[in-house]
């Protein structure tokens, strides 16, 4: 999803793409910049660059933590010494797996913690952690000409962190921020992803999003 976020936000904001390998991050950033310039031309006021994860953590106001659930503890432990104190950390992470029944939500079926709680424990303080972007279609997000026509559900404990995120969501065409409550409710947003994937598969829907009507 990183590519989609970079393409959507670079119109106004400076984006740094992170990777364990700085060279890979720089190459990705160059590719995204080419795509963004094609889409926006001279209307692109921001930028896209690439750095290794530690440099990203040290430089950004908002960190979108797009990593698998299984890697949260390990990745966050490595980054915790590098991340700025005032950095807002965003978890779009969804703990899910696939069984014969369909896509399942791991915390409910296996008694493990929701992703947002794992992140908050690994990168304290909890107040700066915000949960969002769980049900965004990667395909639609990358297609910058397309309105998402969807909601994204936000959980977080700190009003300031939540309002920064709300503004960032508002920058994405057709994406509506819907605040659910404190981070402890993040499971209600995370679980929408396996639900959505089950619905899409069983009903042959293509890249659906969730919207409250």
Count other C-beta atoms under 10 Å from residue 54's C-beta.
16
Report, in Å, the least distance between residue 120 CB and its own copies.
14
- Residue 5: helix, strand or coil by DSSP? helix
- C-alpha distances in Å from residue 160, one per residue of 12, 88, 120, 138, 165: 21, 10, 16, 27, 9
Q: Is 194 in the site for its own copies (CB under 8 A)?
A: yes
Select the residue interacting with its own copies from 16, 78, 111, 128 (CB under 8 A). 111
Report, in Å, the least distance between residue 85 CB and its own copies.
26
Q: Is 62 in the site for its own copies (CB under 8 A)?
A: no
| Spatial separation of the C-alpha atoms in residues 136 and 147, rounded to whole Å | 12
Tokens matching residue 66: 């797009």
Q: Is 112 in the site for its own copies (CB under 8 A)?
A: no
Tokens matching residue 124: 């304290």
Q: Is 149 in the site for its own copies (CB under 8 A)?
A: yes
Q: Is 208 in the site for its own copies (CB under 8 A)?
A: yes
Q: Is 46 in the site for its own copies (CB under 8 A)?
A: no
Q: Is 204 in the site for its own copies (CB under 8 A)?
A: no
| Spatial separation of the C-alpha atoms in residues 89 and 63, rounded to whole Å | 5
Q: Is 213 in the site for its own copies (CB under 8 A)?
A: yes
Instruction: Give the rounded distance of the alpha carbon of 23 from its chain centre.
Output: 22
Report, in Å, the least distance between residue 125 CB and its own copies.
18
Nearer to its own copies, 15 or 136 (CB): 136
Q: Is 105 in the site for its own copies (CB under 8 A)?
A: yes
Find out whether 187 and 106 touch, Cβ atoms under 8 Å. Answer: no
Nearer to its own copies, 46 or 182 (CB): 182
| Spatial separation of the C-alpha atoms in residues 41 and 202, rounded to whole Å | 40
Q: Is 203 in the site for its own copies (CB under 8 A)?
A: yes
Q: Is 164 in the site for its own copies (CB under 8 A)?
A: no
CA dihedral in degrees (193, 196, 201, 206; nearest 10)?
-110
Binding positions for its own copies, rule: CB under 8 A: 101-102, 104-105, 107-108, 111, 149-150, 153, 178-182, 184-185, 187-189, 191-192, 194-196, 198-200, 202-203, 205, 208-213
């Amino acid at each position: 999803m990183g590519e989609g976020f970079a393409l959507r936000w670079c119109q106004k904001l400076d984006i740094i793409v992170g990777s364990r390998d700085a060279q890979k991050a720089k190459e990705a950033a160059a590719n995204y910049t080419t795509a963004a310039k094609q889409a926006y031309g001279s209307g692109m006021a921001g930028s896209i660059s690439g750095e290794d994860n530690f440099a990203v953590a040290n430089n950004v106001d908002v960190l979108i933590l797009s990593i698998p659930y299984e890697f949260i503890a390990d990745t966050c432990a490595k980054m915790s010494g590098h991340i700025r104190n005032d950095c807002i950390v965003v978890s779009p992470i969804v703990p899910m797996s696939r069984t014969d029944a369909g896509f399942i939500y791991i915390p409910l079926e296996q008694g493990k913690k929701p992703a947002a709680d794992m992140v908050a424990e690994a990168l304290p303080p909890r107040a700066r952690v915000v949960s969002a972007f769980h049900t965004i279609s990667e395909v639609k997000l990358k297609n910058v000409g397309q309105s998402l026509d969807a909601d994204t559900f936000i959980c977080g404990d700190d009003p300031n962190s939540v309002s920064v995120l709300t503004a960032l969501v508002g920058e994405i065409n057709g994406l509506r921020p819907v605040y659910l409550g404190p981070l402890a409710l993040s499971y209600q947003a995370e679980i929408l992803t396996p639900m959505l994937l089950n619905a899409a598969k069983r009903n042959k829907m293509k890249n659906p999003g969730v919207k409250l009507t």
